[in-house]
Amino acid sequence: MIRSDVDLSSANTLGLPCRAERFLATDDIGSVRDALRQAVKQGWPLTVLGGGSNLVLHPWLPGLVLQPTFTNLRFEEAGQGEVLVHVGAGLNWHVLVEALAERDLWGIENLALIPGHCGAAPIQNIGAYGVELADVLEQVHLLHLEDGREAILGRDDCAFGYRDSIFKHALENRVVITRLVLRVSKRAQPRLDYGDLASRLPAAPSASDVAAAVSAVRREKLPDPAVLGNAGSFFKNPVVSAEKARMLLSRNPGMPHFPLADGNVKLAAGWLIDQCGLKGLREGHVGIHDRQALVLVHHGGGSATELLALAQRVVGEVQARFDVTLEREPRLMGETAR
């Protein structure tokens, strides 16, 4: 049933105040299609909301907010030691990571403790500790918002990039993701070459061992959204040319940098922000986390406008010091007033 004037303050991990004009949470495809038809007929703007973990919400979301809650999980043998995992878009991502790790299925253990629902994972092409969703994604099942038409996209159709996909461009605000299919492996394939991950693990770790180690690292560095409102990494790690990287390294010999296959170089946004002396900064109701400068936090009582003003300050100071432009990672939704 569609509800009116619904408080979404607890439905986004930043805990920003937001109300939806209309709201429907459902795990029924028929109900989703009915809601889409009604939205089109009434001319309602339509917003699809997952776990609210990669969003900055303004105070008002007009039209209809649709939250798919499909949580089905099915395993299909694919031969040659591989398994296809069919997972509903509404399942919590970390719950999925734990379910696969317990079965010693390899592929997403490095993505442990990333907040949000599975349906949001392809939008962002979530990644951590040397692994991205694109490494294991087989299919995305979706419905087109304008007519409820079902479609299936393969990995190559998704135009994945660094924290990027077709869902941020040609299909932005045009589809609702209902299901993912992932291809994982029964064979041990640990990826431990990122940070100090290997030093935390035994010589022959299980998938559960890796997921637990990644979770421990994340808990040490990142605030729990249930305790301190945040959307995880607020800025993408910027990518610069090799020439620009050489120039920056000549001035900053200790700068973390990661050469990419295309010849460009990825920089660490958190390090750049930290060098500007901004870690731990608080401005009113918002601030920068004191252990991870990449994370902007909401202490309560603030607004999206306040948070975005702080983000703009960070962008400006990094630009002024390093001539590097930071790009916001969370999506911005809603309106400032009714």
- The domain spans of the chain are 3-68, 73-220, 223-333
Given its phi and psi angles, is residue 317 left (phi above 0), alpha (psi -120 to 50 degrees) or beta?
Answer: alpha
Cα distances (Å, whole numbers) of residue 95 to 72, 115, 256, 293, 317: 12, 10, 32, 27, 38
Active-site hit among 98, 109, 132, 329: 329
Q: Which listed residue (19, 163, 179, 218) is catalytic?
A: 163
CA-based torsion, 122, 289, 224, 230: positive or negative: negative
CATH for 3-68 (3.40.50.280, 3.30.43.10, 3.40.50.720, 3.30.420.10): 3.30.43.10
Residue 72, pLDDT > 80, answer yes
The answer to whether 3-68 and 223-333 have equal CATH topology is no
What was the pLDDT predicted at 196? 84
**Among 53, 165, 233, 303, the one annotated catalytic:** 233
CATH, range 73-220: 3.30.465.10
Q: What is the pLDDT of residue 337?
A: 85
List, in order, residues 6 or more apart from 25 with CB less than 8 Å away.
Answer: 67, 68, 69
Dist CA 268 CA 72 (whole Å): 37
CATH architecture of 223-333: Alpha-Beta Complex (3.90)
| Lowest model confidence (mean pLDDT) among 195-204, 205-214, 263-272, 325-334 | 195-204
The residue type of 61 is L
Cα-flanking dihedrals φ and ψ of residue 216, to 5°? Answer: -65, -45
Mean confidence (pLDDT) of the chain: 96
pLDDT digits (tens, 9 = 90+) for 32-53: 999 999 999 999 999 999 999 9
Let me know: does 164 contact 132? Beta carbons within 8 Å: no
Q: What are the structure tokens assigned to 72, written together?
A: 């089905």
CA proximity to 126, closest of 142, 113, 143: 113
Q: Residue count of the chain, please give it.
A: 338
Q: Which of 176, 192, 195, 44 is nearest to 122 (CA)?
A: 176
The pLDDT tens digits of the residues spanning 106-143 come to 999 999 999 999 999 999 999 999 999 999 999 999 99
| CB contact set of 172 (below 8 Å; sequence gap of 6+) | none
**% of the chain beyond a pLDDT of 70:** 100
CB atoms within 10 A of CB 305: 12
- pLDDT of 28 reads 96
Amino acid letter, residue 166: I
* Pairwise CA distance, residues 297 & 265, whole Å: 28
Q: Evaluate if residue 168 carries a pLDDT over 90.
A: yes
Contact of 100 with 85, CB cutoff 8 Å:
yes
- Tens digits of per-residue pLDDT, 1-19? 999 999 999 999 999 999 9
* Catalytic (active site) residue 9: no
What pLDDT is attached to residue 195?
75
- Give the residue from 182, 4, 172 showing the smallest Cα distance to 93: 182
State how beta strands 331-333 and 295-298 pair.
Answer: unpaired
